[in-house]
Amino acid sequence: MTLAQKRAASPRLDNSFISQIQKQIPNLVPPAIALLIFLVVWQLFAWIPGATLPGPIQVIQDTWILILYPFYDKGGIDKGLFWQILASLQRVAISYTLAAIVGIGVGVLIGVNQTMSKALDPLFQLLRTVPPLAWVPISLAALRQNEPAALFVIFITAIWPILINTAVGVTQIPQDYNNVAKVLQLSRKEYFLNILIPSALPYIFTGLRIAIGLAWLAIIAAEIVMSGIVGIGFFIWDAYQNNNVSEVILALVYIGVVGLLLDKFMAWLQNLILPAEQK
């Protein structure tokens, strides 16, 4: 009896899995077609006499060893693309986490304190417009080492959208919520945990999602300038210096894929944490 039930359940599970795939097909077909058209157009331009950039076919031919062996490690900076990307992601994770902690904390502070907001807002607006590359010489001059300088560049680039969106979210808390908190005589801790953070959470996640993309962009810029460190940014610069354009293009593809995955991860985390009425 039990065996028969298991046999009956198995086709249902298979059918459910197949049905889920079939539901995703309409969402996958348009981007797949667009990608195919892009590759075809790119290849046609590469075949034009005098073209300087390789087409997708030549890129694969020139970099197939890097594609097939992403985990090789010959010591120093001679590593496969997996280790290059992993090193960059580690730097992003460290600095992004610090930026999130500091950005949310300072954002809450200036959101609840109008005097602090008026005092610091001009400074924040000035600093947030500085491009990541402009921070590189300052960080190198101050910290004297490539690794902490790279971490600082990511931090100073990623903190602003988190800080500003958090502050805006705090100021947008409905007045009715504040009135209820006064009537119930909530403590600061209860107000912070039960009203302030839940109300500002959509704005905070907006800042976090923007910041993860900026952090990934910043590490690439920092690593290109800072020589001698393992990372996908320096890999690009080294390949360019050696005239390996196909390797540069391959690295750009990997960067785009990783950036897309980071954004999708933050979107998934946002949908997981936020209540349904706030999505």
Q: For 88-234, CATH number? A: 1.10.3720.10
pLDDT digits (tens, 9 = 90+) for 169-209: 888 877 776 666 676 766 677 777 777 778 888 888 899 99
pLDDT digits (tens, 9 = 90+) for 214-235: 999 888 878 877 777 788 888 8
3 state DSSP class of 73: strand
All structural domains of the chain with their residue ranges: 88-234
Q: Alpha helices, DSSP H only, in 113-145?
A: 114-128, 132-143
Contacts of 72 (CB under 8 A, 6+ apart): 79, 80
> What whole-number distance in Å separates Cα of residue 174 and Cα of residue 195?
10
**Residue 79: beta bridge partners?**
73
Crossing angle of helices 146-171 and 81-112, in 10° steps, is: 40
Buried b (16+ CB within 10 A) or exposed e, 18-56: eeeeeeeeeeeeeeeeeeeeeeeebeeebeeeeeeebbb
Say what the pTM is: 0.80
